[in-house]
Amino acid sequence: AQSVTQLGSHVSVSEGALVLLRCNYSSSVPPYLFWYVQYPNQGLQLLLKYTTGATLVKGINGFEAEFKKSETSFHLTKPSAHMSDAAEYFCAVSDDNAGNMLTFGGGTRLMVKP
Amino acid sequence: NAGVTQTPKFRILKIGQSMTLQCTQDMNHNYMYWYRQDPGMGLKLIYYSVGAGITDKGEVPNGYNVSRSTTEDFPLRLELAAPSQTSVYFCASSYLPSEQYFGPGTRLTVT
């Protein structure tokens, strides 16, 4: 069975600072990994995904994530936070054994201070 | 192209009442899903469908029913609402199972 752990339910950074949101997963087979963003009172929007190939994945709004198999991690980063990045971020995993159905982490709320 | 639409946006139900949450997608996706989102708990899959006429249970199906008579629509039925069903409900659709597009959600309160 798959599982996803997001370390830190709340992360606060200053505008212009590095954003680092952590995600660790468990999967018995090669995983597909995703980050979704949820702005207040909206549905989830796909930020980026890893399926195969290059382990450093670039997404929308300047975010990127690196798949590290040895660490079973898929941390999300952005070099310089903007006020508009304040939102909730969800890491998700799927794999062939689960019919490619998504399993979500508990989410991390990112707050950006001026 | 509206994507995934959900109605209503908000609803308050009394314990024991029933209701249907509507979900429609115009992207001709085969896969459709219903999730509930509770604070700090991420999203839990309630039911999903891989095509018209085919539905299956997810992680938390108790207290809910679904049907899929067309590709576009995937309504979620709550029978005998309970306070534990207070949540935000999201419908999603996809061409591939893992690349899902989400609707804006329905906020349901059961009192």
Measure in Å the smallest separation between the Cα of A114 and chain B Cα atoms. 25
- d(CA B94, CA A99) in angstroms, rounded, equals 13
From the list B2, B5, B18, B9, the residue with the least C-alpha distance to B107 is B9
Nearest CA in chain A to B90: A43
Average confidence score pLDDT of chain B: 93
Beta-ladder partners of A49: A34
- d(CA A105, CA A35) in angstroms, rounded, equals 10
- d(CA A106, CA A6) in angstroms, rounded, equals 6
- d(CA A13, CA B47) in angstroms, rounded, equals 37
- d(CA A94, CA A102) in angstroms, rounded, equals 5
AA identity, residue B2? A
pLDDT at A102: 85
Least confident of A47-51, A74-78, A98-102, B43-47: A98-102
Q: Is B20 helix (H, G, I), strand (E, B) or coil?
A: strand
pLDDT at B33: 94
B98: pLDDT confidence band, cut at 50, 70 and 90?
A: low
From the list A75, A82, A80, A94, the residue with the least C-alpha distance to A29 is A94
pLDDT at A98: 59
State the distance between the two ends of chain B, measured CA to CA, in whole angstroms: 36
Average of pLDDT values for A108-114? 96
Residue A99 pLDDT more than 80?
Answer: no
Give me the phi and psi of B84, to 5 degrees please: -65, -15
Least confident of A12-21, B22-31, B99-108: B99-108
Identify which of B44, B48, B104 has the shortest CB distance to residue A43.
B104
pLDDT at A97: 59
pLDDT at A96: 64
Q: In b/e form, how buried is each residue of A68-94, taking b as 16+ CB within 10 angstroms?
A: eeeeebbbbebeebeeebbbbbbbbbb
Of chain A, the percentage scoring pLDDT greater than 70 comes to 96
In the numeric block, the tokens 């299956």 are attached to B56
pLDDT tens readout for residues B33-77: 999 998 777 899 999 999 999 999 998 999 999 999 999 999 999
Of chain B, the percentage scoring pLDDT greater than 70 comes to 97
Q: Is A43 close to B90, i.e. CB distance below 8 A?
A: yes
Q: Is A102 close to B103, i.e. CB distance below 8 A?
A: no
B99: pLDDT confidence band, cut at 50, 70 and 90?
A: confident
A94: pLDDT confidence band, cut at 50, 70 and 90?
A: confident
Identify which of A34, A90, A107 has the shortest CB distance to residue B98.
A34
